[in-house]
Amino acid sequence: METGNLNKHISGQFNVELENVRSQVLAMGGLVEQQLENALLASNTGDKDLAREVIENDRKVNELEVNIDQECVRIIAKRQPTAGDLRLMMAIIKTITDLERIGDMAEHAAQTVLHADRSLPDVVQVNLEALGEQIIRMLRDVLDAFARMDADAAYRVHSRSKKVDSLHEGLVRQLLTYMMGDSRSIPFMLEVQLASRSLGRVGDHCKNIAEYIIYFVKGTDVRHTSPEEIKRLLKQD
C-alpha cells in the first residue's frame, strides 16, 4: 500500500503499527461506502431485504470505529508521538468518527425504505439518485485522498460540497411541492425528506475528512476556513 506522506521511523514496529491502523481506517471506509451504496440501491428499488442488510451491518461499522479508536489510544500512550505522527493520530480519530456518522446516514436511509408504503414520484427518484451518485463519488474520492494523504485531492473533494448542498435543496423543494399538492403524501414525503437530509449531510462529513487530510499534510487546522484561504495554503511550499 502506498504510504503517501507518512513518516518513516527508526522503530520498524512503529511503522507497522501506523500502517496497520491506517489500513483499518481504509477498510472501515470501504465498508461504509458499501453501506451507502446498498442503502441508495434499496431506496431506488424498494428492496426491503437489502435495507435490512444495511441496518444489520451498521454494527460492524460501529465495531470498527471502537477498535480503531482503542488502537489509536494505545499507540499514543505507548509511542507518545509528536508533530506529524500526532497529527496523523488526531486525523484518524476524527476521520473514523465521521465515517461512523456516514454509516448512520446509510442506516437512516435504509430505515426509510422499510417504512415506505408507496413509490417515489419519478422526478423525485431521479434527483435522489443524482444526490446519491454525488455523495458516493465524494466519499470514494476522499477515501482515496486519505490513502495517499493527498492534500490537493482532498481540497478538490472539499470544493464539491456546495454541489451536494444544491442538489439536496432542490430535492427538498420538490418534496414540499408534492406535499402541498397531496396532503395524503405528507407522512411519506416527510420520511423521504429526513432521509435526503441525512444523505446531504454525508457531503459535510466528506468535507470534514478532507479538512483532516489537509491538517495532517500542512499542519494547519482549516476548519471554518474559506475555500480561497485553503487554496492559498496549499500553494505554499
Query: Tens digits of per-residue pLDDT, 61-110?
Result: 999 999 999 999 999 999 888 888 889 999 999 999 999 999 999 999 89
**Which pLDDT tens digit goes with each residue over 183-227?**
887 888 888 888 888 888 999 999 999 999 999 999 998 988 888
Asked if residue 57 is part of any domain, the answer here is: yes
Report the number of distinct structural domains present in the chain: 1
* Model pTM score: 0.89
User: Are 58 and 108 a contacting pair, CB within 8 Å?
Assistant: no
Residue 94 lies in a domain: yes
Asked if residue 88 belongs to a domain, the reply is yes
Residue corresponding to grid cell 480561497: 228
Burial track 124-154 (b if 16+ CB lie within 10 A, e otherwise): beebbeebbebbbebbbbbbebbbbbbbebb
What CATH number does the domain containing 184 carry?
1.20.58.220
Measured between alpha carbons, how far is 141 from 173 in angstroms, rounded to an integer?
Answer: 28
CB-side neighbour CA atoms (13 Å) of 82: 0
Residue at 195 is within a domain = yes
DSSP letter string, 50-74 = HHHHHHHHHHHHHHHHHHHHHHHHH
Write out the residue range of the structural domain in which residue 109 sits: 12-235
In a domain, 4, yes or no: no
